[in-house]
Structure 1
Amino acid sequence: MNVKQVDETKITRYILRATFEDWMDFSVNDVVIVGAGPSGLSAAYYLAKSGLKTTVFERRLSFGGGIGGGAMLFHKIIIESPADEILRGIGVRLHKFEEGVYAVDSAELMAKLATAAIDAGAKIIHGVTVDDVIFRENPLRVTGVAVEWTATQMAALHVDPLFISARAVVDATGHDAEVISVASRKLPELGIAIPGEKSAYSEIAEQLTVEQTGEVAPGLYATGMAVTEIKALPRMGPIFGAMILSGKRVAEDIIAKLNVKIHNT
């Protein structure tokens, strides 16, 4: 087998050309999701599947968020119904313990959630941190995000960000609700309070998280553990059904609102 010979300059040029074609394209989006954890990937899957142009920015060089750590680094997590129906639909294998309660492999769940989102048409960009939002007035609304390389921030270098527009921004950053926290601090007129999450109460936390998923300010949405942070909900530990269902619910909210606007224009 003869391996195709490609010189170093061509490697560089091909990478730059393909990269900048992508960045030119996703500088304008229907939806930007911040965080490629379970809720962010679930949301990306449903949003892209609906035909909305969706980009996910993840500060790490991997996806999955809290899934990878499993329960105290054990490689299994728990999924309960009806989230199991979603996972079956993307090919995740489930080990049943009792009616409606399943264990899943953390690596398989991460890989198949990401694959489902990408295959649906979502773009996932690693190594990028969202450190601010874009807004417009009259009416006040979040209209995009400011992004930097994560490595730049880790090196404590002062570098101005690039700006990415979106008709909806989803905070899927987990416990810290990073995007919403920045928006609440810099744009107090949005009226966002962040009381912080409560201690564990799994039995009610799953349902409450799904129910309270949605828009927290015009153009800005919360999903997953970011919801518990801004709504003062209990944490739930290594059971991830609410994360998957929360991602689906925020996607449904955005699809409904953006489709209404499309219809009226």
Structure 2
Amino acid sequence: MEFQISSGIVDSYFHKFKKILNVDVAIVGGGPSGLLAAYYLAKAKQNVVLFERKLAPGGGMWGGAMMFNDIVVQHDALPIVKELGIDYKNYSDNLYIIDSLQATSALIYHASKAGATLMNCISVEDVVIQDERVRGVVINWAPVHREKLHVDPIIVISKAVLDATGHDCEVARILERKNGIKLNTPTGSVIGERSMSVYEAEKTTTENTKEIFPGLFVSGMAANGVSGSFRMGPIFGGMLLSGKKISEIITNSVLEHA
């Protein structure tokens, strides 16, 4: 039995691993916008893989507000909450309270059930550039990346890459730093996140959700970070709306470059 357990896991995992080496969309970061983008892209019949370096996807949504495991969404995002079957309660005219653990679990479950492949404990350390377009990512085990071990990576080819790495905008920074290119931002570079302004941040999260370089897209806090907008704290409507918006933008882009 010991051999069968190990053999089954290895066979299954490497079948899955081989399947994600050439995909339509590679998502970097498993926060709420990345997970929701994975859900909608998979529903649109895109072959999508999501890479998360931590043990569990979910980003900052798990922790709620200062480890109070409730979060806020606004009315505009309520249709998404309902679609995912997340319980909610009205708090004010436009704001609703949802349980952060239930919400995060729902995002992970629905993205996976829709057909997205979720790969945890994997870091993205570079992108693939061909013909002045991002065409994939370079991955390694998260502990290898964290410990800075000299272990060569594996390449994943994709038609589109989504930077959903949150506040740090990691993929956009790698692309800019290593290639000396200009991004589709007000300065042509990663500007960086500004301090908190909830109303402005919620508005600009969706406004800044876009393609910032051929083949590279941004959503969620990465979208605000690259364009120099504000943080918003434990309100997640903008994140959800950003994930849905970018899935539509990427689907159209993938079809255009098919």
Distance 1:18 1:224 in 2: 32
Distance 1:13 1:203 in 2: 52
Shift of 1:23: 1.1
Q: Which residue of 1 aligns with 2:32?
A: 38
Q: Given the alignment, which residue of 178, 197, 202 partners 1:186?
A: 178
Q: CA deviation at 1:189?
A: 2.5
TM-score by length of 1: 0.93
1:213 aligns with 2:239: no
| 2:123 alignment partner, one of 129, 137, 143 | 129
1:94 equivalent in structure 2: 88
Tell me the residue number matched to 1:115.
109
Match of 2:98 in 1: 104
Residue 255 of structure 2 corresponds to 259
In structure 1, give the amino acid aligned to 2:199.
E
Q: Give the CA deviation at 1:15.
A: 1.0
SS of 1:199's equivalent in the other structure is strand
Matches of 1:100 and 1:165, distance apart in 2: 42
| Matches of 1:155 and 1:228, distance apart in 2 | 29
CA-based RMSD? 1.0
CA contact (8 A) 2:52 2:123 kept: yes
> Gapped runs of 5+ residues in structure 2?
none
Residue 241 of structure 1 is aligned with which of 218, 237, 240?
237
Distance 1:157 1:12 in 2: 26
Structure 1 stretch displaced more, 150-159 or 88-97: 150-159
Query: Among residues 121, 124, 133, which one is paired with 1:141 in the alignment?
Result: 133
Secondary structure at 1:216 match in 2: strand
- The TM-score normalised by the length of structure 2 is 0.96
The answer as to 2:162 corresponding to 1:166 is no
- The amino acid of 1:201's aligned partner reads S
CA distance in 1, matches of 2:124, 2:256: 28
- TM superposition shift of 1:99: 2.5
- The counterpart of 2:61, out of the listed 61, 67, 78, is 67
Identical positions, percent = 39
**Structure 1: distance between partners of 2:125 and 2:99:** 32
Q: Residue 229 of structure 1 aligns with which residue?
A: 225
Larger Rg: 1
Structure 1 unaligned regions, length at least 5: 1-6
Between the aligned partners of 1:89 and 1:153, the Cα distance in structure 2 is: 37
Deviation of the 1:190 alpha carbon: 4.2
User: Number of residues paired by the alignment?
Assistant: 254
Cα displacement (A) at 1:153: 2.0
Partner amino acid for 2:134?
V
Q: 1:196 aligns with which of 189, 192, 213?
A: 192
